């Protein structure tokens, strides 16, 4: 039996989490979602097909999974009727379980999802006039404890598998009704048109949900490769952004091996403040981080690095901070843009959001320094879907807190 116990948070700094095995399915079947095509072929071969057949079937199945979004082998019409039950006996096409789906008044949607072994995590879809962005989680919880982030207060953490990560994109496409409907084996004019239809709602992906993606590098890479694969979900790497709190040693690899846009949760420009609010700074300091940004493969004026900067009242929001931000970006010659994020509050948070006037003044200074610094409009606040608010309901009250509440209620009654 695989070890499915969750990791407890090992400390504030350098808590590289170890991926836990996921619980094997009780029926012994293997979930194909999250596997590269060559692994699917290897499984088919191990199950008894000859090499040529295995490769051919893997190609067909892969296309059905990622291009057409089917979840049933019976729907794979170019695979022989007798072959389909053979597949269904041995394999499944999984999706994370949807526990709850919420809709914000501003159109933002949030899903509470559950892994096969019972861990909850969240994903968020943010529709805009010209794009639709899916905010994807990389871990259940997060081992880092950024002081202003609700996810960082979750006590339990598990890395999500490639299937659970790409599964979020699959689920979003299911929910948005975005799989082509034509029949691949009958390419007459009408179905061919449907098959290639691409008026998509989901156009962009940001790895900005729960977790630190660069602490789950291999699984995030595996999932994003399926998202970018021309035979897979076929989304351009230019439409994918990975956000990191600053795991410096993994940043170059991210650029080289994944090649997506980079966002960095900077949030402060002095050692003292960044040490306090983004504790990974004690391990990888500002200079190291900015140098890694300067060296980020693929960054250019056409593909800028985004610096995220959460606006915390009287903490990091002075004119001096804004000027220092400009100075640092210029010093390291960074092709950068700055995203100012009004702090999204959560119960018990130690900070307040800066005033709108302060945010405006900060933004103006950065703009005057020649760097774009828009203020991000908070989305989905009413359903706790905004940046840093993701924390699953099951986790919102700790066991200890529930026990305390029960004890208090009992004492009040006595
Ligand atoms: N772990 C990664 C990605 C997820 S967080 C990272 O830290 O970069 C996505 C963004 O939301 C990060 O910039 C994060 O710092 C920010 N954020 C976290 N809590 C927030 C809050 N309460 N209000 C506003 N932004 C927050
Ligand atoms: Fe983790 Fe990012 Fe939240 Fe920091 S801001 S605790 S790295 S999810």
Task: Determine the Cα–Cα distance for residues 228 and 258; give it in Å rounded to an integer.
Answer: 9
CA angle 115, 101, 194 (to 5 degrees): 90
DSSP, res 185: T
Q: Which ligand is closest to the CA of 387, given by its number?
A: 1
Q: Which-ligand-closest: CA of 214?
A: 1
Kindly state whether residues 60 and 204 are assigned to the same domain: no
Residue with tokens 């979003």: 172
Block mean pLDDT (10 aa), the chain, length 414: 45 44 74 95 96 97 94 95 96 94 92 90 93 95 92 85 96 89 47 48 95 96 96 94 97 97 98 97 97 96 96 98 98 97 92 97 98 92 81 59 63 66
Domain check: are 195 and 215 in the same one? yes
Any atom of ligand 2 within 6 Å of the Cβ of 146: yes
Residue 264 lies in a domain: yes
Residue span of the structural domain in which 330 resides: 97-409
137 CA from centroid of ligand 1 (Å): 12
15 within ligand 2 shell (Cβ under 6 A): no
For residue 177, give the nearest of 205, 207, 199 by alpha carbon. Answer: 199
Q: What is the DSSP letter of 33?
A: T
CA angle 167, 172, 176 (to 5 degrees): 150
Identify whether 16 is part of a domain: no
Q: How many CB atoms lie within 10 A of CB 411?
A: 8
Is ligand 2 within 6 A of the CB of residue 161?
Answer: no
Q: Choose which residue among 388, 390, 391 to substitute to test ligand 1 binding: the one with the highest number of ligand atoms within 8 A of its C-beta.
A: 388
Task: Find the CATH number of the domain harbouring 140.
Answer: 3.20.20.70
Q: Is the CB of 265 under 6 A from ligand 2?
A: yes
Tell me: do 200 and 77 sit in the same domain. Answer: no
If asked whether residues 258 and 274 sit together in one domain, one would say yes
Question: Does ligand 1 lie within 6 Å of residue 307's CB atom?
Answer: no
Mutate to test the pocket of ligand 2, among 248, 310, 388, 392 (most ligand atoms within 8 A of CB): 388
Q: Whose CA is nearest to atom 6 of ligand 2?
A: 152
Pocket mutation for ligand 1, best pick of 15, 159, 208 (most atoms within 8 Å of C-beta): 208
Q: What is the DSSP string of 301-338?
A: SSSPEEEEEEEBTTTT-SHHHHHHHHHHHHHTT--EEE
- In this structure, is residue 1 part of a structural domain? no
Distance, CA 188 to ligand 2 centroid (Å)? Answer: 49
Of 72, 92, 112, the domain-final residue: 92
Q: Are residues 67 and 147 in the same domain?
A: no
Catalytic residues: 122, 387
Determine the distance separating the centroid of ligand 2 and the alpha carbon of 210, expressed in angstroms: 7
Which of these three, 92, 112, 133, is where a domain ends?
A: 92
Shared-domain flag, residues 40 and 187 = no
Query: What is the spatial distance between Cα 367 and Cα 97, in angstroms, rounded to a whole number?
Result: 44
Largest CA distance in the chain: 76
**H or E stretch at 411:** helix 399-413
66 and 115 belong to one structural domain: no
For tokens 């630190």, name the residue: 212
Distance 146 CA to ligand 1 centre (A): 8
Ligand nearest to the backbone CA of 344: 1
Looking at the domain assignment, is residue 180 inside a domain? yes
Helices then strands, each counted (H, E), the chain: 13, 14
Nearest CA to ligand 2 atom 4: 146
Residue 170 sits in the same domain as residue 77: no
Is residue 12 domain-resident? no
Q: Which ligand is nearest to the CA of 384?
A: 1
Residues 138 and 162: their CA atoms lie apart, in Å, by 9
Which of 116, 231, 109 is CA-nearest to residue 172? 109
Residue 168: CB within 6 Å of ligand 2?
no
Q: How far is the CA of 151 from the centre of ligand 2 (A)?
A: 6
Instruction: Tell me: do 312 and 202 sit in the same domain.
Output: yes
Q: Of 43, 77, 92, which marks where a domain is finished?
A: 92
Q: Is the CB of 212 under 6 A from ligand 2?
A: yes
Rounded Cα gap, residues 144 and 215, in angstroms: 10
Q: Report the domain count for the chain.
A: 2
8 located within any domain: no
What does the alpha-carbon distance between residue 152 and residue 9 come to, in Å, rounded to a whole number?
Answer: 10
What CATH code is carried by the domain that includes residue 47?
A: 1.10.150.530
Within a domain: residue 225?
A: yes
For the entire predicted model, the pTM comes to 0.89
Classify residue 85: in a domain, yes or no.
yes
Do 268 and 212 lie in a common domain? yes
Render 200-261 in DSSP notation, one character per residue: -S--EEEE-SSS-GGGGHHHHHHHHHHHH-TTTT---GGGEEEEES--HHHHHHIIIII--E
Q: 223 and 84, same structural domain?
A: no
For residues 365-403, b (16+ Cβ closer than 10 Å) or e, as one string? bbeebebebebeebbbbebbbbbbbbbbeebeeeeeeee
- 180 and 229 fall within a common domain: yes
Q: Quick check: 355 and 304 in contact, CB under 8 A?
A: no
């Amino acid at each position: 039996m695989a070890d499915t116990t969750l990791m407890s948070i090992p400390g504030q700094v350098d808590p590289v989490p170890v991926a836990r095995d996921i619980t094997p399915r009780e029926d012994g079947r293997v979930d194909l979602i999250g596997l590269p095509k060559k692994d699917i072929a290897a499984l088919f071969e191990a199950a008894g097909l000859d090499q040529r057949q295995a490769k051919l079937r893997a190609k067909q199945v892969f296309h059905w999974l990622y291009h057409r979004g089917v979840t049933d082998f019976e729907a794979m019409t170019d695979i022989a009727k007798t072959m389909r039950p053979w597949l269904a006996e041995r394999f499944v096409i999984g999706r994370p379980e949807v526990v709850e789906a919420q809709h914000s008044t501003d159109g933002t949607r949030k899903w509470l999802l559950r892994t096969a072994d019972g861990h909850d995590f969240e994903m968020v879809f943010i529709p805009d006039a010209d794009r639709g962005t899916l905010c994807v989680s990389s871990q259940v919880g997060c081992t880092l404890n950024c002081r202003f982030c609700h996810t960082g207060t979750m006590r339990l953490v598990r890395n999500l598998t490639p299937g659970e990560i790409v599964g979020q994109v699959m689920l979003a496409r299911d929910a948005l009704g975005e799989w082509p409907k034509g029949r691949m084996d009958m390419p007459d004019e009408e179905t061919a048109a449907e098959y290639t239809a691409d008026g998509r709602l989901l156009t962009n992906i940001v790895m900005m949900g729960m977790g630190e993606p660069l602490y789950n590098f291999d699984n995030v890479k595996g999932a994003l490769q399926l998202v970018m694969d021309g035979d897979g979900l076929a989304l351009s790497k230019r439409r994918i952004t990975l956000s990191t709190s600053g795991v410096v040693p993994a940043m170059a690899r991210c650029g080289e091996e994944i090649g997506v846009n980079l966002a960095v949760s900077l949030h402060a420009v002095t050692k003292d403040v960044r040490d306090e609010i983004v504790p990974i700074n004690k391990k990888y300091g500002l200079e190291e981080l900015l140098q890694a940004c300067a060296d980020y493969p693929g960054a250019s004026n056409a593909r800028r690095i985004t610096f995220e900067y959460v606006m915390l009242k009287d903490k990091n929001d002075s004119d001096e901070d804004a000027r220092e931000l400009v100075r640092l970006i210029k010093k390291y010659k960074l092709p950068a843009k700055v995203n100012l994020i009004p702090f999204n509050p959560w119960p018990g948070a130690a900070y307040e959001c800066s005033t709108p006037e302060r945010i405006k003044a900060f933004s103006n200074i950065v703009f005057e320094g020649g760097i774009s610094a828009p203020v991000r409009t908070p989305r989905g606040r009413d359903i706790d879907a905004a940046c840093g608010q993701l924390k699953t309901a099951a986790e919102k009250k700790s066991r200890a807190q529930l026990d305390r509440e029960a004890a208090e209620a009992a004492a009040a009654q006595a």
